[in-house]
Structure formats: structure tokens, C-alpha cells
Amino acid sequence: MIEPDFDKGAGLLPAVVQDSHSGDVLMLAYMNRDAWLKTLETGLATFWSRSRNALWIKGETSGHLQMVREIMIDCDADAILLKVEQRGGAACHTGYASCFYRRLDRGFVEVVGRKIFDPEDVYRK
Amino acid sequence: MIEPDFDKGAGLLPAVVQDSHSGDVLMLAYMNRDAWLKTLETGLATFWSRSRNALWIKGETSGHLQMVREIMIDCDADAILLKVEQRGGAACHTGYASCFYRRLDRGFVEVVGRKIFDPEDVYRK
């Protein structure tokens, strides 16, 4: 059984999340070994939240879960690629389909992403 | 002029490289501010090599340069996405088109990537 080399990232490795249908890169998050094992066990993309210092099942609050369809590992075993089916059509907490919704062009920022939801409707107090 | 928040990653942020034609995720590397500025200046994907502690123009040795077509920044400004035209058709030093050439399936590894070149031909002594 091969697994990513978490020691290389001092316990945390970057995981790229790609939409299995469109091929769009949706987000980048971090996994520790617990998040990795939880992802394998549940089939739901699960990360380690560096801000909350806790396991984070992506979409647990918003309902925008990520069903993992494929897991790839890179040549050095220190980066992970998840191909997922994105529930609700949006990965970003801002409501955009992808967290990478801003393009930089000669120092200017252009918003090119598709806005799917209004965060105020989804993350109610 | 917006730029990634390199402080968030203690000076180094992950950069996902995606093929601008196929949409395949080719690799993940790291950028510091120098690598970022060099990438903007030259249009060639340039990273910070953590193993060599040096700026690293991707493909400088192999000729497999990455011409940057689009630069995206994520919601938290702590991850970068480069959409590139991959010279020579391969991003990985192992000769595969993508560094993510291995798929994990129930604990087993399947090589699913396309091998483009033999590293021994490219990285001659």
C-alpha cells in the first residue's frame, strides 16, 4: 500500500482538487495523514484546516461536498491530486465555482470565475 | 497591483501547473516572490527549488520549458494556478506528461500517465 510521504511536508501535503467533469482546478487545500485516511474511508474530500487546526470535511457546512472519483499521487509522493464531483457546482466559500476565479493580467485582476451562490444564503448565522 | 500573499506560506506558496490545452494538471511546485516576479517578467514558469535552494526555471535543463498563458490566484491569495503551454509535451523529470501519472485505487497503484521521453536521453551526464 503506497501513500503520500507526509514527512516531506512536515505532516501536511498540498492537495489539488480538480473537477472530474470540466477539468477545472477548483481549489488547493492541505492534507495530513488523518485527512488522507478519512478521504479514503469515506470517499469525501477531507482536509486539514490550518486556520482551525481541525479535520475539515469539505462542504460539511455548505452542503457542497466533494465526492472523490480519482486519487493521483505525484512523482515525489509529496503532492496529491483529487478528481472530484462537486456537489452544488461550487467549491469556493465566496460562491464561485472555483477558488481560482481571478486572473492576473499585467498587474490587473480580472474576475473570470462563475458565481454559483451567494455566501450569505449558504452560510447563515 | 495585486500579488500573492507570500507571508502566508512563510515565503513559499504552492503553484499548480495546468496544461492550457488539455486541462491536465501537470505538476505542483513552489514559488517565492523572486520566482513570481521572474515568471511575470519572462513568461516562463519559474519556481523555487526547495531541494536546491535556488530559483528554478522549469525545463532549463531538459528544454521542456513552460510558457505561461494565464495566471490565476485563489480566494485567499495563497495559492497560484499557472496555465501553460508545455514544451516537449512532458512536465515530469521521469518522462511522463504529468507528474501525477499514478492513480491510487484501493491501496494499489496504477500507472496511468503517458510516458513521453526517457530521462536518460534527456538528462545526459
A46-76 tens-digit pLDDT: 999 999 999 999 999 989 999 999 999 999 9
Q: Which residues contact A81 (CB under 8 A, 6 or more apart)?
A: A15, A16, A18, A71, A72, A73, A74, B25, B100
Distance from CA of A13 to the nearest CA of B (A): 10
Per DSSP, the three-state class of A37 is helix
Question: Closest by alpha carbon to B42, among B56, B28, B25?
Answer: B56
Chain A residue whose CA is closest to B94: A75
Per-residue confidence (pLDDT) for residue B124, from 0 to 100: 65
Task: State whether B71 and A104 contact (CB < 8 Å).
Answer: yes
Residue in chain B closest to A105 (alpha carbons) equals B71
Is B100 in the A-facing interface, judged by CB distances under 8 Å? yes
Is pTM beyond 0.90? Reply is yes
Q: In this predicted complex, what is the ipTM? A: 0.95
pLDDT at B1: 60
Q: Per-residue pLDDT for chain B (125 aa), expressed as one digit of tens each?
A: 678 999 999 999 999 999 999 999 999 999 999 999 999 999 999 999 999 999 999 999 989 999 999 999 999 999 999 999 999 999 999 999 999 999 998 878 999 999 999 888 877 65
